[in-house]
């Protein structure tokens, strides 16, 4: 089950991915993240992707072509990712984020644990 909250310490929208979800559900959850950014004005995102499994190429392309441009329009400045434990999830995440530099000024960093990710968001 995915969860979407506000992390008060990091002043960030926090999304937790902890199971394998189908493509449509993933896109819907990603859209909910953007809606939360709109509603709260938070410009930082904290992704706990430790439970993320493989993402289909179609979803990776959608994130690059649709989701990242929308996040940029909303003024998202920082995204902290806690690295997936599953190697296929890790590869999917890295492939998805590989083209982000072409889409505005969103700073993305990867972390092994929640503490380091939150500290980075707090500093930036």
pTM, two decimal places: 0.85
Q: Sheet harboring 78-82: ordered strands across?
A: 3-7, 12-16, 44-48, 78-82, 107-111
58: pLDDT strictly greater than 80: yes
- Note the pLDDT tens digit of each residue in 108-120: 888 989 999 999 9
Count H helices, E strands: the chain?
A: 5, 5
SS3 69: helix
* Domains in the chain: ranges and CATH: 3-123 (3.30.750.24)
Q: What is the DSSP string of 9-46?
A: TTTEEEEE--S---HHHHHHHHHHHHHHHHHH---EEE
Report the C-alpha gap between 23 and 56 in whole angstroms.
Answer: 7
104: left (phi over 0), alpha (psi -120 to 50) or beta: left
How many percent of the chain have pLDDT more than 70?
A: 78
Tens of pLDDT, residues 1-33 = 458 999 999 999 999 987 667 888 889 999 999
User: What per-residue confidence (pLDDT) applies to 56?
Assistant: 81
Helix/strand/coil percent split, the chain, to 5: 50, 20, 30
Residue 89 has a pLDDT of 56
pLDDT in tens, 61-120: 898 889 999 999 999 999 999 987 666 555 566 666 665 554 567 898 889 899 999 999
Give the residue among 108, 98, 25, 36 at the shortest CA–CA distance from 64: 98
What's the confidence (pLDDT) of residue 86? 60
Using alpha carbons, select from 95, 85, 83, 108 the residue that is nearest to residue 55.
Answer: 95
């Amino acid at each position: 089950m995915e969860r979407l909250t506000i992390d008060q310490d990091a002043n960030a929208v926090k999304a937790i991915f902890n199971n394998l979800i189908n493509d449509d559900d993933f896109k819907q959850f990603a859209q909910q993240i953007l809606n939360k950014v709109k509603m709260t004005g938070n410009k930082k995102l904290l992704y706990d992707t430790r439970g993320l499994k493989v993402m289909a190429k179609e979803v990776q392309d959608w994130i690059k072509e649709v989701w990242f441009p929308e996040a940029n329009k909303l003024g998202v400045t920082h995204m902290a990712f806690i690295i997936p434990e599953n190697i296929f999830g890790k590869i999917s995440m890295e492939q998805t984020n590989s083209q982000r530099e072409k889409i505005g000024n969103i700073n993305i960093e990867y972390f092994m644990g929640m503490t380091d990710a939150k500290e980075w968001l707090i500093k930036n």
